Amino acid sequence: MPYCAQCLIEFVEGIGKCEDCGAPLLPGSPPEDPPVVDLSGQKDVKLVSVRIFTGGTAQMDADLARNILQSQGIPCLLQGESSAEILPVLDIPLFVREEDVSRAERILKDYLDTEAVASPEEVDPAEDS
């Protein structure tokens, strides 16, 4: 089954691009989850919030961001995950180590803040006139 390399979501055969981000799908299964780095055993680690997720999709968006960063080798932590399941209106901050902030911000911007470009077959010819 093909999968999206950005979202790490599997799709049924016959679909050529991700329905969420528009990226072309790759053959096979998504790579296994990268190992999670446990920051709790480290002393003197300064964590910095790189993004705060809110609203009804906060948990899903925060999980996606965490998976993206972890796949890039950046350990991160979501605060308030269990609270968000009960009260989905709460903010969910995503934390990374201070030394990873600029790289994490750049990666999240590239993945989450860019609009998917429509392929030529998606463009409605009526809109061109």
Tens-digit pLDDT profile for residues 63-77: 899 988 988 888 888
Q: Name residues whose C-beta falls within 8 Å of residue 14's C-beta, 6 or more positions apart in sequence.
A: none
* C-beta separation of 46 from 60 below 8 A: no
Domains and CATH numbers, the chain: 1-32 (no CATH), 33-115 (3.30.70.790)
What's the CA gap between 97 and 76, in Å, rounded?
7
pLDDT tens-digit profile of 23-82? Answer: 888 888 777 655 555 566 667 778 899 999 888 888 888 989 998 898 888 888 887 554
